[in-house]
Homo-oligomer: A and B are copies of this chain.
Amino acid sequence: MNKGVLYVFSAPSGCGKGTVLTEIRKRLPNLKYSVSATTRAPRDGEIDGTHYYFVSRERFDELVETGGMLEHATFCGNSYGTPKEKVFECLDNGIDVILEIETKGAMMVKESYPEAVMIFMLPPSIEELRSRLENRHSETEEVIAGRVHEAAREIAMAENYDYVFVNDDISEAVDTLYQIMTASKSLTKINQDLIKGVLAKC
Contact = CB atoms under 8 A, between A and B. Distances in A.
Interface in A177-202: 179-180, 182-184, 186-188, 191-192, 194-195, 198-199, 201-202
Contacts of A152: 199, 202
B182 A163 contact: no
Nearest to A201: B125
A57 to B, nearest CB: 33
Contacts of A155: 195, 198-199
A56 B191 CA distance: 40
Interface string A95-122: 0000000000000000000000000101
B156 A199 contact: yes
B192 A159 contact: yes
A: contact size bracket: 35 or more
A187 B120 CA distance: 10
Nearest to A118: B188
Contact of A182 (B156, B160, B183, B192): B183
A165 interface: yes
A176 interface: yes
A106 to B, nearest CB: 13
Contacts of A182: 179, 183
Contacts of A183: 163, 176, 179-180, 182-184
A188 to B, nearest CB: 5
Contacts of A198: 122-126, 155, 166
Interface of A: 120, 122-127, 152, 155-156, 158-166, 176, 179-180, 182-184, 186-188, 191-192, 194-195, 198-199, 201-202
7 contacts: A125-B198, A127-B201, A152-B202, A155-B195, A155-B198, A158-B195, A159-B195
